[in-house]
């Protein structure tokens, strides 16, 4: 099942879906396995697995540190892809890769897409690859059943939103605010107006990330977004309390 159909099917039964984020190889692949197990067992619908990169421009200090520490520990792209394939075989939820275009270019666009298709990876998030510079890559991804996930931000014009809608697939990732990941977002009247613009611009499902941290944030998103994205918060939790704390945290988001 392709990503959009999978998510729409799950959305029928939930007020909002939950997507989480991990950095592959941080602090280790064994920890990644345990974190993913706890996420899946506590109802996560989709997991974004970040292939680490040395200059993660969209990421704040928590995820940036995780990227750099993973690379310093020797993580390689091939290990990440093998791990992603293992997770997709093990769990019946949607897995995506998130990374930056240097990784894709170095590995090879066609080679990466073929690998994702073979391993049942359902989508790709590449923040620094805009639709007007990647038409062939995105069209090839769609042909192979892989959803290119593109991004709206509060500074996106209506014209840009239309371009993103036409190029993307699966869902639109709506950045909650300007800046990078990790900092708490203010989900206020300005945010509501922004989400209304997003709704007018596309009929695709809307995911909201950047600074979504707790149950109250997710409750605020209900009726405005289809998917809530938790990223930096779970990494902070693993750093502070270990991977065993992830399951109760995820369960608490839905209480």
How do the pLDDT tens digits run along the chain, 255 residues long? 799 999 999 999 999 999 999 999 999 999 999 999 999 999 999 999 999 999 888 788 899 999 999 999 999 999 999 999 999 999 999 999 999 999 999 999 999 999 999 999 999 999 999 888 888 899 999 999 999 999 999 999 999 999 999 999 999 999 985 444 434 445 667 889 999 999 999 999 999 988 788 999 999 999 999 999 998 899 999 999 999 999 999 999 975
Candidates 79, 31, 71; CA nearest to 234 is 31
Question: Which of the residues 9, 15, 45, 48 is marked catalytic?
Answer: 48
CA–CA dist 209, 115 (Å, integer): 27
Candidates 140, 70, 72; CA nearest to 104 is 140
Question: Which of the residues 45, 59, 119, 217 is marked catalytic?
Answer: 59
pTM higher than 0.85 for the full model? yes
- 142 close to 21: Cβ distance less than 8 angstroms: no
Q: What pLDDT score does 199 carry? A: 96
Q: What pLDDT score does 177 carry? A: 57
Q: What pLDDT score does 183 carry? A: 46
Q: Is 34 a catalytic residue?
A: no
Give DSSP secondary structure letters for 112-159: HHHHHHHTT--EEE-TT--GGG-HHHHHHHHHTT-EEEEEE-TT--HH
* Residue 5, phi then psi, degrees to nearest 5: -65, -40
Q: What pLDDT score does 221 carry? A: 92
Whole-angstrom CA distances from 135 to 124, 128, 139 are 14, 14, 6
Classify residue 216 by burial, with Cβ atoms within 10 Å: 0-12, 13-18, 19+: exposed
Q: What pLDDT score does 255 carry? A: 58
Q: Is 48 a catalytic residue?
A: yes
Instruction: Sketch out the chain's domains with CATH numbers.
Output: 3-252 (3.20.20.70)
Q: What pLDDT score does 210 carry? A: 83
Quickly tell me which residue has 């941290």 as its tokens.
213
Q: What pLDDT score does 148 carry? A: 96
Q: What pLDDT score does 191 carry? A: 87
What the block records as the tokens of 34 is 């345990």
Candidates 181, 172, 182, 179; CA nearest to 225 is 172
Candidates 180, 232, 170; CA nearest to 202 is 170
Classify residue 145 by burial, with Cβ atoms within 10 Å: 0-12, 13-18, 19+: middle
């Amino acid at each position: 099942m392709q990503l959009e159909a999978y998510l729409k099917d799950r959305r029928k039964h939930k007020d909002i879906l939950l997507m989480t984020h991990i950095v592959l190889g941080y602090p280790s692949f064994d920890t990644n396995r345990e974190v993913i197990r706890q996420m899946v067992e506590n109802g996560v619908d989709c997991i974004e697995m970040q292939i680490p990169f040395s200059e993660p421009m969209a990421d704040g200090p928590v995820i940036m540190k995780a990227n750099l520490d993973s690379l310093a520990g020797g993580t390689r792209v091939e290990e990440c892809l093998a791990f992603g394939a293992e997770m997709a075989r093990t769990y019946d939820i949607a897995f995506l890769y998130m990374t930056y275009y240097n990784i894709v270019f170095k590995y090879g666009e066609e080679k990466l897409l073929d690998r994702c298709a073979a391993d049942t990876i359902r989508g790709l998030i590449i923040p620094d690859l805009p639709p007007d510079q990647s038409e062939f890559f995105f069209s090839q991804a769609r042909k192979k059943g892989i959803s290119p996930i593109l991004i709206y931000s509060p500074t996106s014009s209506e014209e840009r939103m239309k371009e993103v809608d036409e190029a993307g697939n699966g869902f639109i990732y709506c950045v909650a605010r300007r800046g990078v990941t990790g900092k708490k977002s203010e989900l206020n009247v300005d945010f509501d107006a922004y989400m209304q613009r997003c709704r007018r611009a596309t009929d695709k499902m809307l995911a909201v990330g950047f600074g979504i941290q707790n149950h109250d944030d997710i409750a605020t998103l209900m009726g405005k977004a289809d998917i809530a994205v938790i990223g930096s918060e779970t990494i902070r939790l693993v750093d502070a309390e270990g991977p065993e704390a992830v399951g109760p945290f995820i369960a608490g988001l839905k209480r």
